[in-house]
Amino acid sequence: MSADVETSLRSPKAYVLARKAIEAMEAYKVWPTALNFELWVHYITGKDSPLAVEIDAIIGGGEPFTDAVGENLAAKHLPKARLNGEILEAGDALSKELDSVSRAIESARESSSAYGQQLATASKSLDAEDKTVIKEMVEELTTATRKVQEENESLETQLADTTAEVGRLREHLEQVRRDSMTDGLTNLANRKAFDEALERACAQAERRGEALTLAVLDIDHFKSFNDTWGHQTGDQVIRYVASVMARVGEPPRIAARYGGEEFALIFPGERARSAMATLEEIREEVSGRILKRRSTNEDLGAITVSAGMAERKVGEGPTSLVERADEALYASKRNGRNRTSSADPISAAA
């Protein structure tokens, strides 16, 4: 599912959303399979999306919503299904290339074996000292040698082509892997990439005895802003905040879109004081710019972000660290927004 839908399903309105999807599926006699449920949750949450438009056309035309219809829609509109398809296609192509190489190598092995037998026969025939026999033997060896050379040249060409193709497929699979870990709207790390990165960062901090700080940020009053200006302008705001985070989130730091209008920033090897300074830099840059609506050039005013942070304790895992950073974020929201709060005492805190 997309990050926005995942966020909705983890919010208090998740059960309402799920019931609406089930009711819609029942109304149109759609079997409640896992794939259909995912499709119809997307349908309910994004009534103007390309997926919703296509589903409306299907049910409006009286077409039955079969498994095949659902699979086609998933392949076109669900990122996970598209990604799985790309992986399968690349994997199939790689398997075919490797099968081709195996066949070519086996053929070369058989030719070499036959050539070896001919040499053994020729060795025995030399004892005959018959000029006619020796002449025939030399001609046969010349022909066999030429054949083996031609097959070896063909194999070398095929191996070179296959090496290039395998390299291309490897690059494609690496791109697919990167895409699966990247948020499509912001180009930051997505939730899956964030979870894996935080797991690694906690393990490394524990192993090396290093500091680690986690921050979560949220765009203030984003729902009201979205309702006023529309989702496209809301996406523009999310991309702007992401661009500010990307500038300060270069490796070894990791900037991610946590879900919806919420972001996260991992600070490997950094204590809370250093992270606080960076978060204040982000907050001040975001609030200091007057945004304009891209389509009409209207002034949108300034937006603000609230942030919460927590420095990892010895032995602390990712779940606890995220919970403490979230609690600090909620403290920022309760205390008036547009501020940074820490789960741990910091002198001269914001």
CATH code of 245's domain: 3.30.70.270
User: Do 146 and 286 share a structural domain?
Assistant: no
pLDDT tens track for 278-318: 999 999 999 998 888 877 888 888 899 999 999 999 999 99
With contact defined as beta carbons under 8 Å apart, do 216 and 258 qualify?
yes
Position 173 scores a pLDDT of 61
Q: Which two tokens stand for residue 204?
A: 């490394």
* Residue 166 is assigned to a structural domain of this protein: yes
Residue 233 in any domain: the answer is yes
Residue 319 pLDDT? 95
Predicted confidence at residue 63, as pLDDT, reads 82
User: Do the bridges between strand 299-301 and strand 291-292 make them parallel or antiparallel, or are there none, so unpaired?
Assistant: antiparallel
Whether residue 199 is found in the same domain as residue 333: yes
The pLDDT, as a whole number, for residue 45 is 79
The confidence score (pLDDT) of residue 292 equals 83
Structural domain ending residue among the three candidates 180, 201, 228: 180
207 with 145, same domain: the answer is: no
Assess whether 166 and 283 both reside in one domain. no
SS (H, E, C) 120-173: HHHHHHHHHCCHHHHHHHHHHHHHHHHHHHHHHHHHHHHHHHHHHHHHHHHHHH
- Asked which of 17, 50, 77 is the last residue of a domain, the reply is 77
pLDDT digits (tens, 9 = 90+) for 324-350: 999 999 999 999 999 999 998 874 333
How many structural domains comprise the chain?
A: 3
Residues 46 and 107 in one domain: no
* DSSP-derived 3-state class of residue 304: coil
What's the pLDDT at 91? 57
Residues 119 and 170 both lie in one domain:
yes
- From the list 245, 250, 265, the residue with the least C-alpha distance to 309 is 265
Q: 61 and 87 in one domain?
A: no
Identify the pLDDT of residue 110.
61
Range of the domain at 314: 191-342
- Verify that 68 and 107 share a domain, yes or no: no
Greatest CA separation found in the chain? 108
pTM: 0.58
How far is residue 17 from each of residues 187, 218, 222, 300, measured CA to CA in Å?
28, 23, 20, 30
Tokens of 10: 């983890």
Residue 348 in any domain: the answer is: no
Low-confidence residues of the chain: pLDDT under 70: 1-14, 79-135, 137-139, 141-142, 148-149, 152, 155-156, 159-160, 162-179, 347-350
Q: Is residue 249 part of a domain?
A: yes
Examine the domain organization and report whether 118 and 154 are in the same domain: yes
Residues 72 and 91 in one domain: no
Q: Is residue 137 domain-shared with residue 44, that is, in the same domain? A: no
- 230: in domain: yes
Same-domain pairing of 86 and 72: no
Q: What is the DSSP letter of 313?
A: P
Instruction: Report if residue 350 sits inside a domain.
Output: no
**Predicted pLDDT at 139:** 67
Number of H helices, E strands in the chain: 12, 7
Cβ pair 234, 222 in contact under 8 A: yes
pLDDT at 29: 86
What separation in angstroms does the CA of 248 have from each of 161, 180, 181, 244, 253? 43, 23, 19, 7, 8
Given 77, 95, 125, the domain boundary residue is: 77
